[in-house]
Amino acid sequence: MKKIKHAKNKGFSLIELMIAMLVTLILMGLVSTLFAGALGSRSRESRRADALTSARAALSAISREIGNSGYGLTMNGIVNADSGAQKIHFRANLSNEDYTTDSVGEDITYFFDADTKSIVRYDPNTTPTTSVIVNKISNVTFHYYDYNSDGIMSTAGSATPTSNTGRVMITVMVELEDVVGQPKGQKVTFTSDVTLRNSTYMLNQY
């Protein structure tokens, strides 16, 4: 009677196990890198959207108030001696009762605070007198454009206003928060053109 030989089931060798583990670790590393990149991009876009929404809301408020400068007065409303590239001071007689500008919202200054990286609004007729409009701002600049007697606007503009200024360009640079795995120091710049409705040139159009 012949004996039946059974084949022995061989397991994985130590080298095969190590190779399998190494391949698994490599695949897990690749997946983790892709996942982290996707999360980083999502976080960056979310913070970008939040920063831009806040900055645009602030820019809209600033533009609206600057556009009303000079209302009820005999000039464009900009205080030339106290305005420049990173600061604008303007007045308006919103109550339209007299030529005074000592009511709330009638004597406004916007300026960039480099220490807090924010745009600050100052109104001496309110309490508190100062308020932060938006923070996490890298820079804000005001550029002034004049109209001559023929109604032609200067193309170059200036960092300082004059009595003939009829348009102001506001440029805001938003500094985005750093996100792990993404380039650092990202910034977004956008602008707003404001026509001074009460400037001499604009009033002559009516």
Where are the chain's structural domains? 33-203
DSSP assignment of 142-171 equals: EEEEEB-TTSPBPSS-BSS--TTEEEEEEE
Q: Is residue 146 over pLDDT 60?
A: yes
Q: How far is residue 13's CA from residue 173's CA, in Å, rounded to a whole number?
A: 62
pTM summary value: 0.74
What is the percent of the chain where pLDDT is above 70? 82
pLDDT confidence of residue 97 = 73
CA-to-CA separations, 44 to 38, 57, 150, 178, in angstroms, rounded = 10, 20, 49, 8
Assess contact for 194 and 167: CB atoms under 8 A: yes
What SS3 class is residue 105?
coil
Res 6 pLDDT > 60: no
